[in-house]
């Protein structure tokens, strides 16, 4: 009886697998500062789209399967098309005169980013005087296969009335 007969091929196979893994495509860990700059740029675009009342541009910043959670509506608004319609309705009710969205913190884990921040919106419904509201938010971003970061979940939390 010979021992170790199958050990040579096993060692060779292990070495080949280790080499293949070592030389496989590198998984790039996103640089948090780079992702933050990208997201902050998208948020400026978001604010501009709100001031232009461009529901399609706002919705394009969400993933196809996004969920939008707003204190102004019950439940969840799910999917890019539904989010576009919700913003279209919102823009019919009020004009957004100022939109300031500020990232407070950001954590990046692979192709997902968790962001918290504050917002300040000044809007006007009809001929009524403009109203300014502030709030906080939690957004979960996902980097798509195209490399673009889009909002997967957006939860808006208005500040209490003072």
In this structure, are residues 129 and 122 in contact, taking their beta carbons and an 8 Å threshold? no
- Residue identified by tokens 């978001």 is 46
Residue 5's pLDDT is: 55
Residues facing residue 19 across a β-bridge: none
- Name the residue ranges covered by the structural domains of the chain: 30-158
Q: Report if pTM > 0.85.
A: no
pLDDT band at residue 157, thresholds of 50, 70 and 90?
Answer: very high
- Which residues lie below 8 Å from residue 114, measured CB to CB, with a gap of 6+? 106, 107, 108, 138, 139, 140, 141
Checking if the pLDDT of 14 tops 50, the result is no
64-111 pLDDT tens trace: 999 999 988 889 999 999 999 999 999 999 999 999 999 999 999 999
Q: Which fold does the domain 30-158 belong to in CATH? A: Nuclear Transport Factor 2; Chain: A, (3.10.450)
At 27 the pLDDT is 52
What's the rounded Cα separation, in Å, for the pair 83 and 88?
9
């Amino acid at each position: 009886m010979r021992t170790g007969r199958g050990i040579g091929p096993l060692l060779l196979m292990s070495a080949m697998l280790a080499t293949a893994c070592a030389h496989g495509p590198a998984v790039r860990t996103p640089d948090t500062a780079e992702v933050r700059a990208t997201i902050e740029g998208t948020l400026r675009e978001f604010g501009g789209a709100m001031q232009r009342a461009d529901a399609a541009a706002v919705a394009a910043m969400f993933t196809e399967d996004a969920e939008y959670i707003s204190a102004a509506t019950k439940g969840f608004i799910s999917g890019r098309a539904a989010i576009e319609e919700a913003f279209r309705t919102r823009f019919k009710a009020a004009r957004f005169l100022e939109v300031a969205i500020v990232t407070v913190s950001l954590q990046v884990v692979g192709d997902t980013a968790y962001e918290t921040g504050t917002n300040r919106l000044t809007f006007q419904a009809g001929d009524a005087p403009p109203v300014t509201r502030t709030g906080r938010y939690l957004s979960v971003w996902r980097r798509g296969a195209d490399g673009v970061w889009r909002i997967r979940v957006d939860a808006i939390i208005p500040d209490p009335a003072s």
